[in-house]
A and B are shown apart, each in its own frame.
Chain A
Amino acid sequence: MSFIGLHFGNTSTSIAVTKGDGKVDVIASPDGERAIPSALSYVGTDEYHGGQALAQLIRNPQNTIINFRDFAGVSFDKAVLPEIVNSAKAINVDGKVGYEIEEDGKTTKITVDEVIKRHFQQIKAAAEDYIGNKVEGVVLTTPTNFSDEQKKALKSATKEAGLNVLQFINEPSAALLAHLTANNKLEEDRIYVVADFGGVRSDAAVITARGGIFTILATEHNFELGGDQLDAALSEFFAKEFEKKYKANPRKTQRSLAKLKSECITTKKTLSNVQSSTISIDSLSDGFDFHSSINRLRYEVVARDIFSKMAAFVEETVRKAGLETLDIDEVLLVGGTSNTPRLASNVQFIFPESTVVVSPALDSKALDPSELICRGAALQAALIESYDEDEINQSLQPVVVNLEHIAKPIGLKNADGEFIQIISRETAYPIKRSLTFDTPGDVLIELYEGERTIEESTVEPEEGEEEYSDEEPEVLKKVVYVPGQLLAQIPFKGETANGKLEVIVRITVDGLLQATVRSGDKVERVDVHST
């Protein structure tokens, strides 16, 4: 029996499993797809799944179901249906979102629950085929804005497909877990933005990592931004070119549109890897074949507005968290669209140089952004597989997860008057942190709350850059914490044991801050309360 991690997106689904050595494998479908299109299509008695189903959008769109994930657990009345549909149209089936399809010669109406069940049956089969073992438990990821009802609907549909959801986890947290585990950086206190650009939506979250504990500070969602917009822009570009050449309109029929879109997706993905791509479509419209090519630069111009919106979307999320881009240590780009080099550079552009943007376009060692989420889910699945369901549910109780977080960092003042941080802002307690100093003795330990300031420095133009000297000197900004509110004073008199002195800061469950100074058997403790 195996446990897997699943990322179930509107556009694609990916499966991962943690092996004995702790390494994570992303599972390919029998067709070799690692990002398996979340699509089902019905032709006669046959059910097509994944890429094969997607291909049916050209011949058989009315029996091909795509983009259904977000409808899980949402009543038809509340569902936001897309304006343009090039696949089976969402209809009201028993008050839920559903579809009318022709299956085995008969017209049937199926709810989105049924669609999800069938999709997961296929996913389960693909996973079992690959692992060679029965799969029963899954950790399933959802966007942060998924409601309890939506998760309930997902859980029961998954169960019908023979898979038991052990735990739901948030997509951005899963992605961050995978990234930090792979790079062995879990324990560093940092502030991350996890920006997920998918097919039909974009999601972003500001997440703090504090000693391996994640807290989401803010989230942002946009349901009109994603890879689909890029496909549409590219399709329109080529449609215009075709029109000019042949005086024929390729947007007239759904079929030629679908053909164009499908090829544009391929072209778009190719341009993420190489500088130029050809496109060729037999009999696109009015009997004309279409052969053309495009280079990356041209594509980036065609889709410029969309890339700008994506960068602005990331910036807005930071703002929502009450932070500035200066406060962000790292931006993790997630989702299929994050493979796009231009997106990575646009995002890098809005952050200071000190902020690391993680994307394969900027660092070839970065994990594939399409796989980060399922990898994190697989890691979590391996962690909890030895617990029974009750224990897992207990760990999700409010008393476990709803914790008090300190608002400002806590630390000491050094001999130069600077702030030395011991506990970062936004750290959840109970917590204990300590710092050891090499000092002979007779020192004053002053505990402070850190106050955020911005330090500006101008960069002197380097040698050989004289020609630009009439430009404004570049101003570099940096967030620097300085001693703010004094919390406690502890004098240490006499010699330290082995020349070492330890300062321990602990905050108990009740919010009592205990500052302890210790050297050998000499111990001094002061309690600090909160406002």
Chain B
Amino acid sequence: MSLTLPALPSSVSTAASLGKYTAAVRKPIEPVGRHFLALYLWGHTWSEFEKIQAETDVKKAEDVNEDAEFDIEQSEELIEHDPRDWKSADLYAVLGLNNYRYKATEDQIRRAYRVQVLKHHPDKMGEKGGLDKDGFFKIIQKAHETLMDPVKRQQFDSVDEEANIEPPAPKSKYDFFEAWGPLFASEGRFSKKQPVPELGNADTPKEEVDAFYKFFSNLDSWRTFEFLDEDVPDDTSNRYHKRMIEKKNKAARQKRKTEDNKRLSELVRRAANEDPRLKAFRDKEKEEKNKKKQEREAEAAKAAEEVKAKREAVERARAEAAKARAKSKAKPSYQPIQTQSKGKGKGKGKGKGKKSTVSKEQRTESKINIRNSVKDANYFGTELQSEIDHDINVFLDNFEDEKSVEVSNAIAGATADAVKEIFDAAAKEYIEQGFITADDLKFFAK
């Protein structure tokens, strides 16, 4: 970059100031190093005025960013607010704490106050031409005083309508959680018990949802309405009048409190009514009840069916047996059991003449199952493999197809003991009915 100055044009003949430089910002410098020391020694004689000046309006790096957030412009209306009627002003907006309200910490209130004092100090306003603005400054001081005193702050928070969240218009279309979540979070601020449960979302489990409504139905609120009291005259001249106002205030407070409790319980009732989760829980419960009922009915029907089937089977068998006996009167009362020629033996003693309802596949499958069952049961922990296999062959030769299927179904997944019991029962049944004799069997029904 060249250090050459532009040539003098003929148009410029006199020196002049033509503009202003950007306003400076007061900040602390770091008191370290010899240059600082020199500066200090060099400027040692400051006037009292400068000393005072130096203390105000300092922008410190540590709080620059935090304090900027309190620098919210107040509305014209608020600035014009009558200081005598300061109680009706939005005290949080006065301090630029619009975004915090009841959530503002003491430290934030303190810093916000400082920001506003610097901005609205009557001296400064006069300087900027905004004379007569010390009314608002008075309100700033009142706001600070009220919000820094825990009791007074609670009274103000009780009537801070700006912090309230309106419920959605009835019968309108709205997102349940978006509408009611912030509302209950805001109502929860009045609860003596903290923290308060949250509304949650669509996935909140039932217990939590129930606990939420229970909490808000029984909410113990600290909300009070002193702040709206009519001022009691402090001259003692008219004691009767004073007493009357006090009485009126007390009644008004009580009335407001009752109304507020009613308001809240109505809100809770309405939310519960419109809560899609509660509806879903109810639907689910109903559905489950129905399902259970259906299951119960189905079971009962099935049981009845089974009993009926069994009875029919027994009757059928009896009839067959009687028929068989009548048919072969000359023959010995029992047939030697054929174990070798299964194919041939098939049908013997079985419901001859009656068409089987069992398919070929079912038959084969049930037989395989019966055969395997004893192996799977480890021959019931005995060494009697050949005896048991023999008995199984006797069964397979004598069971009707239906019986095979029935037994096969019964033993599926059963324990070894249960399997034995089933075979024992089948054996007894067949002995009883005369299809086989006890001597035909080597293991079962012994």
From residue B181, how far is it (CB to closest CB) to chain A in Å?
A: 29
C-beta contact mask, A174-212 vs B, less than 8 Å → 1, else 0?
A: 100100010000110000000000000000010100011
Closest to A146 in B: B62
Contact present for A186 and B5 (CB under 8 Å): no
Contact present for A213 and B35 (CB under 8 Å): yes
Contact present for A487 and B19 (CB under 8 Å): yes
The answer to the question of B129 belonging to the interface, with a C-beta cut-off of 8 Å to chain A, is no
Complex contacts, A485 vs chain B, CB 8 Å: 19-22
Given A412-B5, A489-B12, A449 and B22 touching (CB < 8 A)? Answer: yes
Complex contacts, B218 vs chain A, CB 8 Å: none
Contact present for B62 and A528 (CB under 8 Å): no
Complex contacts, B18 vs chain A, CB 8 Å: 486-489
Interface centre among B13, B25, B36, B53 (most CB of A within 10 A): B36
Complex contacts, B171 vs chain A, CB 8 Å: none
Contact present for B40 and A400 (CB under 8 Å): yes
Contact present for B17 and A527 (CB under 8 Å): yes
The answer to the question of A224 belonging to the interface, with a C-beta cut-off of 8 Å to chain B, is no
Q: How far is the CA of A429 from the CA of B24 in the complex (A)?
A: 9
From residue B114, how far is it (CB to closest CB) to chain A in Å?
A: 15
The answer to the question of B34 belonging to the interface, with a C-beta cut-off of 8 Å to chain A, is yes
Q: How far is the CA of A169 from the CA of B36 in the complex (A)?
A: 13
Given A218-B64, A407-B22, A398 and B51 touching (CB < 8 A)? Answer: yes
Within 8 A of B (CB), among A224-275: none
From residue B124, how far is it (CB to closest CB) to chain A in Å?
A: 16
From residue A383, how far is it (CB to closest CB) to chain B in Å?
A: 6
The answer to the question of A145 belonging to the interface, with a C-beta cut-off of 8 Å to chain B, is yes
The answer to the question of A401 belonging to the interface, with a C-beta cut-off of 8 Å to chain B, is yes
Given A416-B2, A489-B12, A530 and B61 touching (CB < 8 A)? Answer: no
> Of B16, B22, B58, which contacts A488 at CB under 8 A?
B16
Contact present for A215 and B20 (CB under 8 Å): no
Complex contacts, A430 vs chain B, CB 8 Å: 43
Contact present for A216 and B4 (CB under 8 Å): no
Within 8 A of B (CB), among A462-493: 485-493
Say what secondary structure dominates the interface of chain A.
Answer: strand
> Of A215, A438, A486, A531, which contacts B27 at CB under 8 A?
A215
From residue A361, how far is it (CB to closest CB) to chain B in Å?
A: 27
Per the CB 8 Å criterion, the residue count for chain B at the interface is 49
From residue B293, how far is it (CB to closest CB) to chain A in Å?
A: 52
C-beta contact mask, A393-410 vs B, less than 8 Å → 1, else 0?
A: 001111111111111101
The answer to the question of A298 belonging to the interface, with a C-beta cut-off of 8 Å to chain B, is no
The answer to the question of B3 belonging to the interface, with a C-beta cut-off of 8 Å to chain A, is yes
Contact present for A217 and B61 (CB under 8 Å): yes
Q: How far is the CA of A442 from the CA of B18 in the complex (A)?
A: 20
The answer to the question of B50 belonging to the interface, with a C-beta cut-off of 8 Å to chain A, is yes
Interface centre among B1, B39, B46 (most CB of A within 10 A): B39
From residue A517, how far is it (CB to closest CB) to chain B in Å?
A: 8
From residue B90, how far is it (CB to closest CB) to chain A in Å?
A: 30
The answer to the question of A93 belonging to the interface, with a C-beta cut-off of 8 Å to chain B, is no
Complex contacts, B16 vs chain A, CB 8 Å: 488-489, 526
- Chain A, interface size category, equals 35 or more
The answer to the question of B7 belonging to the interface, with a C-beta cut-off of 8 Å to chain A, is yes
Contact present for A442 and B12 (CB under 8 Å): no
> Of A400, A442, A501, which contacts B43 at CB under 8 A?
A400
Q: How far is the CA of A517 from the CA of B4 in the complex (A)?
A: 15
From residue B127, how far is it (CB to closest CB) to chain A in Å?
A: 14
From residue B59, how far is it (CB to closest CB) to chain A in Å?
A: 9
Complex contacts, A439 vs chain B, CB 8 Å: 4-5
Complex contacts, A214 vs chain B, CB 8 Å: 29-30, 32-33, 36
Contact present for A405 and B22 (CB under 8 Å): no
Complex contacts, B26 vs chain A, CB 8 Å: 402-405
Contact present for A438 and B61 (CB under 8 Å): no
Complex contacts, B39 vs chain A, CB 8 Å: 213, 400
The answer to the question of B6 belonging to the interface, with a C-beta cut-off of 8 Å to chain A, is yes
Contact present for A491 and B15 (CB under 8 Å): yes
The answer to the question of A2 belonging to the interface, with a C-beta cut-off of 8 Å to chain B, is no
Q: How far is the CA of A213 from the CA of B16 in the complex (A)?
A: 31
Interface centre among A213, A408, A445, A525 (most CB of B within 10 A): A213
Contact present for B61 and A415 (CB under 8 Å): no
From residue B57, how far is it (CB to closest CB) to chain A in Å?
A: 9
C-beta contact mask, A427-441 vs B, less than 8 Å → 1, else 0?
A: 011100001011100
Contact present for B24 and A406 (CB under 8 Å): yes
The answer to the question of B28 belonging to the interface, with a C-beta cut-off of 8 Å to chain A, is yes
Complex contacts, B28 vs chain A, CB 8 Å: 215-216, 398, 401-403
Contact present for B43 and A407 (CB under 8 Å): no
Q: How far is the CA of A486 from the CA of B65 in the complex (A)?
A: 31
C-beta contact mask, B51-73 vs A, less than 8 Å → 1, else 0?
A: 10111001001101100000000
Contact present for A405 and B25 (CB under 8 Å): yes
Given A170-B30, A399-B54, A401-B31, A444 and B19 touching (CB < 8 A)? Answer: no
The answer to the question of B9 belonging to the interface, with a C-beta cut-off of 8 Å to chain A, is yes
Contact present for A414 and B29 (CB under 8 Å): no
Contact present for B32 and A524 (CB under 8 Å): no
The answer to the question of A53 belonging to the interface, with a C-beta cut-off of 8 Å to chain B, is no
Q: How far is the CA of A167 from the CA of B37 in the complex (A)?
A: 13
Q: How far is the CA of A438 from the CA of B26 in the complex (A)?
A: 36
Contact present for B58 and A398 (CB under 8 Å): yes
Complex contacts, B36 vs chain A, CB 8 Å: 212-214, 395
Given A383-B37, A530-B20, A414 and B1 touching (CB < 8 A)? Answer: yes
The answer to the question of B326 belonging to the interface, with a C-beta cut-off of 8 Å to chain A, is no
The answer to the question of B307 belonging to the interface, with a C-beta cut-off of 8 Å to chain A, is no
The answer to the question of B301 belonging to the interface, with a C-beta cut-off of 8 Å to chain A, is no
The answer to the question of B330 belonging to the interface, with a C-beta cut-off of 8 Å to chain A, is no
Q: How far is the CA of A493 from the CA of B9 in the complex (A)?
A: 10
Complex contacts, A491 vs chain B, CB 8 Å: 8, 12-15
The answer to the question of A51 belonging to the interface, with a C-beta cut-off of 8 Å to chain B, is no
The answer to the question of B23 belonging to the interface, with a C-beta cut-off of 8 Å to chain A, is yes
Contact present for A526 and B15 (CB under 8 Å): yes
Q: How far is the CA of A513 from the CA of B19 in the complex (A)?
A: 11
Given A144-B62, A486-B19, A530-B21, A413 and B31 touching (CB < 8 A)? Answer: no
The answer to the question of A297 belonging to the interface, with a C-beta cut-off of 8 Å to chain B, is no
From residue B439, how far is it (CB to closest CB) to chain A in Å?
A: 63
Complex contacts, B61 vs chain A, CB 8 Å: 144, 205, 216-219
From residue B236, how far is it (CB to closest CB) to chain A in Å?
A: 43
Query: 5 closest pairs, A vs B, by CB?
Result: A212-B35, A404-B24, A214-B30, A443-B5, A399-B54
A residues with CB within 8 A of B: 144-145, 167, 169-170, 173-174, 177, 181, 186-187, 205, 207, 211-219, 320, 376, 379-380, 383-384, 395-408, 410, 412-416, 418, 420, 428-430, 435, 437-439, 442-446, 449, 485-493, 501, 509, 511, 513, 517, 524-531
Can you list 27 A-B pairs, Cβ within 8 angstroms, ordered by A?
Answer: A169-B32, A170-B32, A173-B30, A211-B35, A213-B29, A213-B35, A218-B65, A379-B33, A380-B32, A383-B33, A383-B37, A402-B26, A402-B27, A403-B54, A406-B24, A407-B22, A415-B6, A416-B4, A418-B1, A435-B3, A443-B6, A449-B19, A485-B20, A488-B15, A491-B8, A525-B15, A527-B17
New A-B pairs, 16, CB < 8 Å, besides A418-B1, A528-B19, A528-B21: A167-B31, A169-B30, A173-B32, A177-B32, A181-B33, A205-B61, A212-B34, A214-B36, A219-B62, A408-B22, A414-B3, A414-B4, A415-B7, A418-B2, A444-B12, A485-B19
